[in-house]
Amino acid sequence: MAVEVEKEVKKSNEVFDSKAASSLVNELRQSFASGKTRSYEWRVSQLKSVAKLVNDGERDIVDALRSDLSKPELESVVYEISMLKNSCKVALKELKRWMVPEKVKTSLTTFPSSAEILSEPLGVVLVISAWNYPFLLSLDPVIGAIAAGNAVVLKPSEVAPATSSLLAKLVKEYLDSSCVRVVEGAVSETTALLEQKWDKICYTGNGRVGRIVMQAAAKHLTPVLLELGGKSPVVVDSDVNLKVATRRIIAGKWACNNGQACISPDYVITTKEFAPKLVDVLKEELEKFYGKNPLESKDLSRIVNSNHFARLSKLLDDEKVSGKIVHGGERNETDLLIAPTLLLDVPRDSLIMNEEIFGPLLPIITVDKVEESFDIISSGSKPLAAYLFTSNEKLKKQFVTTISAGGVVINDTTIHLAVHTLPFGGVGESGMGSYHGKFSFDAFSHKKAVVYRSFVGDAAIRYPPYTKGKLRLLKALIGGSILGIIRALFGWS
C-alpha cells in the first residue's frame, strides 16, 4: 500500500516539460508506425470504447460539468453527452464507406489508366480543447481523429479542472493508451506540446491563443484546424412569429451555457420601430424561463471563473452602455452569477460591441431598415455563425448569399451544430477548417492521389527525340480535342 502511495506522489510531482512531450510524441509515432491505427478493426474498437466511456461515465460527466460551470443536467445531457453519442453512432455506421477509396475519372493524357483518392491517416495529432463545452469539444475531434486512423494527444482545458481530470481518468481506462493519451495542465504543458512536431493540430478557443497555436505550428509547417469564435449576429425582421423567435434566441443565448458558447447570439440588429416589441417579449419569456430572480435559477450556468466575471462586469460598467440596460444586469460576484441582460441602442463604438461577449449580455442595435444590418455585419470580422429571423424570402436569399460566416441559420439559432451532414467551422478570424460527421474524418485525413497503369499502351510521343508531330499530338491530347488528335495523327495543320 505504501509503495502504491509513493508511486502516486512521485507521479503527481512529475513535470511535463518539452522533454516529456518529445518522449510522448515519439512513443505515439512508434505506435502509429506499427500500423495498428490504420486497421478498420482498431478504429471500430476505439470508437466503441468512446461510446462506452460516455455511456458508463454519464453521471460522472454531469457532475463534473456541474462542478466546473454549474451546468444544468439537461444542457449537459443534450448538448454534450447526447451529441457525443451521436458522433460515435455516425462514425461507426459510416466508417467502412468513408475508408473506401473514391474512384475518379482519368483523361486521354494518361490513357489507359485508372485513378482513385485514398484517405490516409495523417499520423500523430494534437487536440487542444475549450472549457465551455469541455467534454464535447474534447472528444468530438478525437472521434474524428480515431476514425481517420491517427494516434492522438488530447489537452483538455485547465479552466474546467473537474472535467479535465475526469477525461484523463476515463480515456486511460477505456482507450488504447499506446495510441490515445491525455495531457493535463495549463500554459507550460500546452507550450511544451506546441514545441513538438505534429501532423495536425486542432484547437478550439479564442483568436488570441489561436494565433499562438498557428505560430507554433508554422515552425514545423503543421496544418491546423482552428475553431474560434467572433460576434455572431441575430437579425430580426418585423414579419416574424415574435414569441417563437424570442424563445429561439433565448435558447441559443442563455440556454447554451449562459451565453458562454462560440455560436451563441452575440448581438441583435432590428429596426427602431420593432425594437420595443422585441424587448418586451424577450423580457416576458426570460421571466417565464428563469423567474423574477434569475440569480436563484438552477437552469442557468454560472460564469466560469472570476477573471471572466470581471471581464463581463467591465463590459457592463462601460460608461457608453451602463445606461442602456433595459432588463437584467444583476450580479453576484461570490457565486459568479450574472443575470440575463438586455441592452438597447448600444453604440457601435462601445467596448461590448468590439469584442466577443461570451456571456449572458445581449446588446440590441437599431436601424431604420432591416437591410442596413448587412453592412453592419460585413463591416466587422466574419463571425462563426449568423442568424436571421424573417418570413421574407427575398431577404433570406440576400442574407445567405451576402453574409460571410462559418454557418447561417434562418429562423433559429445554434441548431446547425447538431446536423452532422453539415461542416462546422469558421471563416476568416472565426477559424479555419471544419469538422463533424464525415467532415471530421476528412479533417484528419490526407487525400492521396493514386494512378494505376499497366505496361501496355506505352506511347512513343512522350519520349525524345521531340518532333513537331509529337508536339502537335501532345497538345491535342492535353487539350482533349478528338478532332485535334485526328488532325495531328494525319499531320494536318
Indicate if 227 belongs to the active site: yes
Indicate if 262 belongs to the active site: yes
Among candidate residues 262, 285, 356, 429, the one labeled active-site is 262
Helix 161-174 vs helix 40-56: crossing angle, to nearest 10: 130
Among candidate residues 75, 80, 189, 227, the one labeled active-site is 227
Helix/strand/coil (H, E, C) string of the chain? CHHHHHHHHHHHHCCCCHHHHHHHHHHHHHHHHCCHHHCHHHHHHHHHHHHHHHHHCHHHHHHHHHHHHCCCHHHHHHHHHHHHHHHHHHHHHHHHHHHCCEEECCCHHHCCCEEEEEEEECCEEEEECCCCCCCHHHHHHHHHHHHCCCEEEEECCCCCHHHHHHHHHHHHHHCCCCCEEECCCCHHHHHHHHCCCCCEEEEECCHHHHHHHHHHHHCCCCCEEEECCCCCEEEECCCCCHHHHHHHHHHHHCCCHHHCCCCCCCEEEEECCCHHHHHHHHHHHHHHHHCCCHHHCCCCCCCCCHHHHHHHHHHHHCCCCCCCEEECCCEECCCCEECCEEEECCCCCCHHHCCCCCCCEEEEEEECCHHHHHHHHHCCCCCCEEEEECCCHHHHHHHHHHCCCCEEEECCCCHHHHCCCCCEECCHHHEECEECCHHHHHHCEEEEEEEECCCCCCCHHHCCCCCHHHHHHHHHHHHCCHHHHHHHHCCCC
What are the residue numbers of the active site?
227, 262
